[in-house]
Structure 1
């Protein structure tokens, strides 16, 4: 009964704390940490059996390593090799060396302990960094991809680090026959897992899939993950290594996506429980006894990691705004640091009090990072992005273009190619120097410049042109261009690309009537192909798509009047869905009635 009460308390704390944290833009991991601090021994004291919960929550890290391995298809890893091995390797090596030196010479710690601390503090929290970037849509840009590469190398580096950790216990290579026998046993088990996984996993999943029981498929996936992890642990290695190996073995399997879909809910919940256990285990009494010491160490950790990452990102050619984002989002300690410090205590290379203090520093850094990242995104990044670029903007040609294209990415290039084929003069403005250089290699003519500057639009011939095409990726920048063009160049007819319905409404607010939703037409075309494949006659396909398109356009216009009122917007969406359902039902009755009449 006591266990059930503990479970209820933990779930209630998670359900309350995580939505609150995400509501304020700080990410789920901070909510889990806060929940642990509140209900743990240092908080309300509602949960005291921290050790047993921490042991069970280690499965969250195991699941995370499995999913990381599942994503590491050899082809993808090969494409990312330069950023993963170069940037990621440099970050771990440089940060680990600097922190180890600070711990060894600065704090006077034994070198095995300093090495463990250096490597453990060099790791960042994948579970914290990725959601923070994803919530702001940063994973698709250069800084997001580079940050993911660094995290990926860190996740890979933990595997050999855990395997080599016993060597730091006494600082020497094992000499006894028993030690070498243990090494041989571990090697045999690893080889056995690799061979067995190579030849047995597909037949197993194939047999379970034929049984037609989804719950058994999920149970099989869990069995393989946890079973491999336990088997590797029995051989004297880390459970995380076993889970990672299982994921890599399944990465090229046809069952990879289904296994991932089955495992991810367990991974999310268990990893959340892991962060809760970290919050509960935080040595708050030690923090209260020595607040200056621990807060100072956490600040030093954040500053050292951020500075190293900032320098490496700039060396790699990342712009200042992206480099600052990477430096901030990767500045905290990570979940694998907790794992490494715990194993170091078991292996004798670190004392229990030292590990507890290191974990408290990591926890403080994790608590601080969401606030720092939010501050950087709000105040620093916009200033860095609006700063005058080092490369001067290109001189605009004086050839009186009829069309000006703002943004020469995927959409702008298609417009430009067609205009060029028809002999219609245009000027394309692109604010990414790399993109300008890239398209020029293939014969396209684009000019480096910021279309949100009215003087640049004027230099590009906006006063004499007749059409302005706004095809920028960034929604705020596209709206800024529209505002400038409407105010200063009323002679222009504006055609705008919209990323989503919200973008459409903002463009309509600014008087734009020629709007194209970038995925709408392609989605309609795809749907038509699906309907044809399902056997619908061509006339019915066309009628269905025309009905849907017309209804969606009407709904979009109606919702524009209430798009700032979320309650009314939701209600109009529901009304529109009911209306569309009624239209299709009436259409179906007309078709059936016509067929009966012909019969």
Structure 2
């Protein structure tokens, strides 16, 4: 019997195509986001073949927005922002202003209204969090000064866009009112701002106490399902309550739900447990955005598409470069920030959708935003590749020094040999480090978390700050004459990279690494590790060893042989 399953058809069709095209994009070294958007185009109404239910896709996209913004809030860090506030805050605001003005200038050429130009320019002004962070991680720039400035810049952009999503509807109402009701419109705007302030105050005063308490209570039950459910219930519930009780957006509610949740000691676990669901709905969000895109605009209006792309790749980048140089930073840093911001993503889609709903952006404008996003995301890896070649050729010692984090002193190679090189000083690494120190064994720790580095230096322990995946960091830790290399970091892929690099330089080195899964054990072993320790296996071995199989401790049975006992494993 035939069943009408539009929801299942939409989810299955979107996810399967997104997976296939995402894999294809990755093979061509393009961001998988391009594949997700292309999947949406293929199942959308503007292309032949299967057409997904657009109304259901919109609902799924709304869930995707909530979970995307929840993830942004969950990883939001005031500390990271404050470290580079003197550059990131004024720089990001000025760059948003320049991009918006360029968008408004473009709108005059397209005979759009100033409001259309304003929304269009705002859509082009903010970079994609997903694309930028992934690009920095792939190039191991997260911990560099350039990476810290780019992330701080991005945080400011996100905050401005969240505020824009809240104020844009009220601004639209003001523009739609006549002169006689302008006072009422200003009053509506004041009421909207008041509701936003009330919601934020409630979250800061009450939410930061209640939410961590609820998390702790759900975690104490011992049920992983209940804990995950509590995180999702709070994220979705707060977002829904923000709309129903305070008339603010789902985006703002979800963002502050994440911010409040990030202050809990269980925030890392909350992020890990909800990551699969957030990723799945984020994919559906990008698919639903692609469904709105009419690819014929690239053929019918190539000039407009190229002009949009020029604003994103050239206008924004030039503004960012000039602003960073204005603050006295190196060309190396300015170029990295420029390339990092030369793309647009999720906020552009959210803002464009809101502009369409409010009648503040034309369908043509939305198509140009989507075309600009797809093309800029595809172009961004190529720009990074060109940048890396240029920097590798022309970098000076002064620029290498400027690459250090704010307040970080230059590091010199350790004056030590025949030592243990310990990578990572978290829960596992700190236990190993304590035993090595107790045994009096010489040791050098490689750690990228500044607080841990400062604490180790206060204890007189040799420590190199940085990512061990970088050859220069291992060189500072004297890999050339180390006797052991112990990798305690939880990332199996990164550990494999370090093992391969260390084995190429030191074929005789004893390397012991940590893994969580059988696949990671195989991966790390194939790259040259002497031994790989998997936590679950070691726990099982320890529990077996604690059984104490001596006859004095083993209960005897009538048919048992004295001194012997067979075990069922």
**TM-score normalised to structure 2 length:** 0.69
d(CA) in 2 for partners of 1:507, 1:385: 22
Structure 1 pair 140–393 and aligned structure 2 pair: CA distance change class (3 A): closer
Give 1:276 shift: 0.9
Which among 110, 118, 128 is matched to residue 125 of structure 1? 128
Counterpart mapping for 1:578-589 below 5 A: none
* 1:292-307 matches, cutoff 5 A: 292-307=303-318
User: Please, which of 280, 283, 301 is the counterpart of residue 269 of structure 1?
Assistant: 280
Instruction: Give the whole-Å Cα distance in 2 for the aligned partners of 1:473 and 1:357.
Output: 48
Shift, 1:74, TM fit: 4.5
Q: Map of 1:43-62 to 2, 5 A cutoff?
A: 43-62=47-66
Partner residue in 1 for 2:114: 111
- 1:147 matched to 2:157: no
Counterpart residue number, 2:223: 213
In structure 2, do the counterparts of structure 1 residues 196 and 261 end up closer, same or farther at CA, with 3 Å as the change threshold?
same
CA distance in 2, matches of 1:255, 1:59: 23
Give 1:344's match in structure 2, choosing from 355, 370, 373. Answer: 355
SS of the residue corresponding to residue 229 of structure 2 reads helix
Instruction: Report the count of equivalent residues.
Output: 473
Task: Give unmatched runs, 5+ long, in structure 1.
Answer: 395-407, 419-470, 482-492, 525-551, 564-568
Q: CA deviation at 1:46?
A: 1.4
1:367 aligns with 2:374: yes
2:308–2:369 CA contact under 8 A, matched in 1: no
Query: How many Å apart are 1:371 and its aligned residue?
Result: 3.8
3-state DSSP class of the match of 1:412? Answer: coil
Q: Are residues 1:378 and 2:385 paired?
A: yes
Matched, 1:240 2:251: yes
1:534 corresponds to which residue? none
Deviation at 1:316, TM superposition (A): 4.0
2:184 and 2:95 map into 1 onto residues whose CA distance is 38
Name 1:537's counterpart in structure 2. none
Cα deviation, 1:157-185, whole Å, max 9, x if unaligned, reads 11221222122444379756698478547
Which structure has the larger Rg?
1
For 2:439, the equivalent position in structure 1 comes to none
The verdict on how the C-alpha distance between 1:290 and 1:411 changes in structure 2, with shifts beyond 3 A counting, is: same
Q: 1:5 to 1:244 in 2, by over 3 A?
A: closer
Q: How does 1:530-569 map to 2 (within 5 A)?
A: 563=527
The farther-off stretch of 267-276 and 166-175 is 166-175
Contact 2:343/2:376 (8 A) holds in 1: yes
Are positions 1:38 and 2:42 aligned together? yes
Whether the 8 Å contact between 2:104 and 2:120 is mirrored in structure 1 is yes
After TM superposition, give the deviation of residue 282 of structure 1 in Å: 0.5
Deviates more, 1:229-238 or 1:164-173: 164-173
Contact 2:132–2:341 (CA under 8 A) maintained in structure 1: yes
CA contact (8 A) 2:123 2:352 kept: yes
Distance 2:147 2:468 in 1: 16
Cα-to-partner distance string for 1:272-316 (whole Å, 9 max, x where unaligned): 111111112102233332233323432343221122222233334
CA distance in structure 2 between the aligned counterparts of 1:259 and 1:298, rounded to whole angstroms:
38
- TM-score, structure 1 normalization: 0.66
List alignment gaps of at least 5 residues for structure 2. Answer: 402-408, 420-465, 488-494, 516-520, 554-562, 564-569
**Is 1:412 aligned to 2:413, yes or no?**
yes
* 1:191–1:145 distance in 2 versus 1, CA, 3 Å: same
Name the counterpart of 1:440. none
Q: Is the 8 A contact 2:142 2:148 kept in 1?
A: yes
* Structure-2 residue corresponding to 1:433: none
- 1:245 Cα deviation (Å)? 2.0
- 1:21 equivalent to 2:21? Answer no
Q: Is the 8 A contact 2:98 2:319 kept in 1?
A: yes
Cross-structure match for 1:439? none
Number of the residue aligned with 1:288:
299
Aligned partner of residue 26 in structure 2, secondary structure:
helix
Task: Tell whether the 8 Å contact from 2:102 to 2:311 is kept in structure 1 after alignment.
Answer: no
Q: Distance in 2 between matches of 1:204 and 1:584?
A: 36
The counterpart of 1:86, out of the listed 83, 86, 90, is: 90
Select which of 132, 135, 138 maps to 1:135. Answer: 138
Q: How far apart, CA to CA, are the structure 2 residues paired with 1:516 and 1:386?
A: 34
Aligned residue runs from structure 1 range 466-477, under 5 A: 475=470
